[in-house]
Amino acid sequence: MRKQKLLFKAATLLLAFVFAQTGVPFAGTASSSYSKRETGLYRDVFDQSVYYEGTEPLHLERLSRGLRGAGKRARNVNAFDEVPDSTFFTNRHGREPLSEGALKQGPAADGGPDPGGDWAITKGKFEGLTPGFFIRDSQGERYLLKFDPIDNLELNTGAEAVTSRFLHAIGYPVPSYTLVSFKKEKLVIDPQATIYDESGFQKKLTPEGLDEFLLFIPETGDGGYRASASRILEGEILGPMKFQGRRRDDPEDTVNHEDRREIRALQVFASWLNNNDMRESNSLDVVQERDGQRRIWHYLIDFGSSLGAASGGPKPPMFGHELMLDYGETLKAIFSFGFWKKPWQKRWDEAGREVQSPSIGYFDNRHFRPARFRTQLPYFPFKDLTRSDGFWAAKILMRFTDDDIKVLVSTGEFSAKKAEEALAGTLIERRDLIGRYWFKQANPLDEFRFFNEGGAYELRFEDLAVRHGFVPETGSVYRVEVIAGKGKRRIRVAQEDIQEQTVRINSDWLTRYPSLDLLIRTRRPNAVTWGPFVRVRIESQAGVPRLAGILHQD
């Protein structure tokens, strides 16, 4: 019977197609100076999994790059291979470690809905996998309350609280997410409150309707309810951010989003936080006025499907391993005639086909390969992630110490300490797996500092792989090629293999050449080949040298 229902739905979808073409107005206000955009899961799935996957070979530039195996360098990085602050990203923990208090607070500076008065439900969303409702607290602030599945108290709410703080600390604009516990008596129904129930029709919310809804929400030990309260963003909502292309109506949006490093790096952060639901419809462009300036901020939202959680319960076993429509994996499975066991199948079997904890869900590091992590949908920027993009993301996440991670996980307020420790342990282990991987892909030399010692110049750097214990402290060799000039006039001035993390610059070179490139490659103990390079540029102006650029090979 389900089959007939689906076929019937498919037939009526055709009618909707016709209806949708007749000019039914979509959101968009004539008064706004910004264009608005609407998308959702259905459109995202069609666009990314069907349309762009199908037409990708027709993008000549992508095709050419694919054939050459060449990466495309991010275009919003500065001369020092860093991402400057913008409305997309603010360097936080990567620049200067945040305090424990700042980590815990994250974006939730408001502290959540006012616990003092009633919460008026203004709108409900009772259908679908993640039901919730909008409330207005006694201070007039609006929040979206979202709940856990009936058998998994703390699962989605905890994931949302934890992941939002991680992403905030990393640097992304994120709304405030606060965990709240309340009794039913706290809720009042606004006279104008409506709901979309399972019929798909909008109805007036009644006390009976609310009671029915609460039947499917898990109760806490004291007979109350737990929810994640997300503060409704102030400002003009423009709809989801595009992960490719750019807004033509935003003077600050000057780089195509697929070429933005922080958008590409979402793939790495998603792999760490197991947030396979990273998609356009889980983002929001909002016009906000800050410090007297009206700008479009690009928020990430909705993290209830991160860590071990997914909509409706623990993460299904294939999540994070395969795309929603993974043609490559499916073809491999077809041509292997079932004799090849997919990694997620191995992992699920090894886990005894059981989730580890109802509140943590399904999250471990068995068969986790950083480069093999898959979000649900295959966005171009995630495909375009280069070595240096991955390295940039990895060095930020390696800034989170074990204690930082434990502090952030504690914001999930999990009642089972053992589960909380397991979650923190998984994140710590996964951080190291990701760091180890990307520090091997790129040359992990960073934190370059340039010194003048009475006319003798030194370039000092940190080998992050050594610092984090991924390679032995001794035995790594750094080959420094000194190249002067630019373009076809480049000449190699010197070459030296060193073991210390300091390069002494011959002052004659600085006198003779206005621009010097130090091309540094690393060879690890027992390795026979040299890895990718880091290019450090030193320029002299009026006899005064300065560090002018850093570039990790893509």
Partner 1 sequence: MNLSFRFLTGLLFIFLSFSLPLSAEEIVYDRYAAAGLEGELLGNSSGAGEMFKNWGKHFLVYPFELVRWPIDQTLVFVEKHHVDDKVEWVYEQMKNHGVTPKVRSLLGGEGLGGGFDIDVTKLSGMKENLPNLTVEGSALWTVDHLTLYEGKLTAEEIVRYENRGEEHFYGIGPNTSLGDGTSFRMERSTFETALGLSFLNTWDVRGHFSFQNVNITNGEDGGRGIIDEIFVRTNRQVIPGLGGDELVNLGVKVEHDNRDLQDLPSRGGYQRFYLGYTKGMDGSSGFLTYRGEAAHFVKFLSDRQVLALRGVAEHHDELGDRQVPFFGMSRLGGYGVSPRLGDAHRGFKRDRFFDESLLLANLEYRWTVYNYRDWRMDAVVFWDEGQVFGEWSGLQWDDFRSSVGFGVRISMADDILLTLEIARSGDGTEFYAKTKTPF
For residue 3, state whether it binds partner 1 (rule: CB under 8 A). yes
**Residue (181 or 501) nearer to partner 1, CB:** 501
Please state the closest distance from residue 177 (CB atom) to partner 1, in A.
24
Which residue in 198, 354, 473, 508 binds partner 1 (CB under 8 A)? 198
Bridge partners for 172 per DSSP: none
For residue 4, state whether it binds partner 1 (rule: CB under 8 A). yes
> Helix, strand or coil for residue 212?
helix
**Residue (16 or 371) nearer to partner 1, CB:** 16
Query: How far is the C-alpha of 381 from the C-alpha of 545, rounded, in Å?
Result: 36
Please state the closest distance from residue 453 (CB atom) to partner 1, in A.
4
For residue 140, state whether it binds partner 1 (rule: CB under 8 A). no
Please state the closest distance from residue 554 (CB atom) to partner 1, in A.
11
DSSP-assigned letters across all residues of 149-164: -TT-TTHHHHHHHHHH
Only one of the segments 52-60, 104-112, 160-168, 506-514 lies at the binding site for partner 1 (rule: CB under 8 A); that segment is 52-60
For residue 7, state whether it binds partner 1 (rule: CB under 8 A). yes
CA distances, 182 to each of 193, 360, 542 (Å): 20, 22, 68
Write out the binding residues for partner 1, residues 249-288 only, by CB under 8 A. Answer: 250-251, 253-256, 259
Please state the closest distance from residue 509 (CB atom) to partner 1, in A.
16
Classify residue 99 by its DSSP letter. P
**Which residue, among 502, 503, 499, has the nearest Cα to 524 in the 3D structure?**
499
Please state the closest distance from residue 60 (CB atom) to partner 1, in A.
6
For residue 61, state whether it binds partner 1 (rule: CB under 8 A). yes
For residue 515, state whether it binds partner 1 (rule: CB under 8 A). no
Which residue in 135, 269, 551, 553 binds partner 1 (CB under 8 A)? 551
Task: Please enumerate in sequence order all residues whose Cβ is within 8 A of that of 312, keeping only pairs 6 or more positions apart, or say none.
Answer: 129, 130, 149
**Which residue, among 348, 383, 301, 299, has the nearest Cα to 57 in the 3D structure?**
383
For residue 216, state whether it binds partner 1 (rule: CB under 8 A). no
Query: How far is the C-alpha of 282 from the C-alpha of 319, rounded, in Å?
Result: 17
For residue 16, state whether it binds partner 1 (rule: CB under 8 A). yes
Write out the binding residues for partner 1, residues 73-132 only, by CB under 8 A. Answer: 73-86, 91, 95, 127
**Residue (196 or 530) nearer to partner 1, CB:** 196
What's the Rg (C-alpha) of the chain? 26
Write out the binding residues for partner 1, residues 530-549 only, by CB under 8 A. Answer: 545-547, 549
Say how many residues touch partner 1, by CB under 8 A. Answer: 94
**Residue (17 or 208) nearer to partner 1, CB:** 17
Please state the closest distance from residue 137 (CB atom) to partner 1, in A.
27
Only one of the segments 185-193, 314-322, 354-362, 434-442 lies at the binding site for partner 1 (rule: CB under 8 A); that segment is 314-322
**Residue (254 or 415) nearer to partner 1, CB:** 254
Please state the closest distance from residue 5 (CB atom) to partner 1, in A.
5
CA angle 378, 282, 77 (to 5 degrees): 65
For residue 39, state whether it binds partner 1 (rule: CB under 8 A). yes
Q: Which residues of 243-271 are buried (b: 16+ CB within 10 A; e: fewer)?
A: bbebbeebeebebbbbbbbbbbbbbbbbb
Write out the binding residues for partner 1, residues 320-379 only, by CB under 8 A. Answer: 322, 324-326, 329-330, 333-334, 337-339, 341, 345
For residue 68, state whether it binds partner 1 (rule: CB under 8 A). no
Per-residue binder mask for partner 1 (CB under 8 A), 439-458, x = binder: ----------xxxxxx---x
Query: How far is the C-alpha of 301 from the C-alpha of 283, rounded, in Å?
Result: 5
Which residue in 9, 294, 492, 512 binds partner 1 (CB under 8 A)? 9
How is residue 305 written in tokens?
């499907």
Please state the closest distance from residue 138 (CB atom) to partner 1, in A.
31
**Residue (321 or 521) nearer to partner 1, CB:** 321
**Residue (13 or 214) nearer to partner 1, CB:** 13
Bridge partners for 230 per DSSP: 144, 177
Query: How far is the C-alpha of 469 from the C-alpha of 436, rounded, in Å?
Result: 9
Query: How far is the C-alpha of 236 from the C-alpha of 99, rounded, in Å?
Result: 32
Only one of the segments 53-61, 178-186, 266-274, 422-430 lies at the binding site for partner 1 (rule: CB under 8 A); that segment is 53-61
Query: How far is the C-alpha of 321 from the C-alpha of 329, rounded, in Å?
Result: 10
Please state the closest distance from residue 83 (CB atom) to partner 1, in A.
8
Only one of the segments 68-76, 172-180, 301-309, 519-527 lies at the binding site for partner 1 (rule: CB under 8 A); that segment is 68-76
Percent of the chain that is helix, strand, coil (3-state, to 5): 30, 25, 45
**Residue (18 or 30) nearer to partner 1, CB:** 18
Query: How far is the C-alpha of 554 from the C-alpha of 552, rounded, in Å?
Result: 6
Angle, helices 155-170 vs 266-273, to 10°: value is 140
Which residue in 30, 58, 215, 491 binds partner 1 (CB under 8 A)? 58
**Residue (5 or 417) nearer to partner 1, CB:** 5
CA angle 293, 296, 299 (to 5 degrees): 125
For 520, the enclosing helix (H) or strand (E) is: strand 515-523
Q: What string of H, E and C letters represents the secondary structure of 423-465? A: HHHHHHHHHHHHHHHHHHHCCCEEEEEEEEECCEEEEEEEEHH
Sign of CA dihedral 291, 297, 303, 307: negative
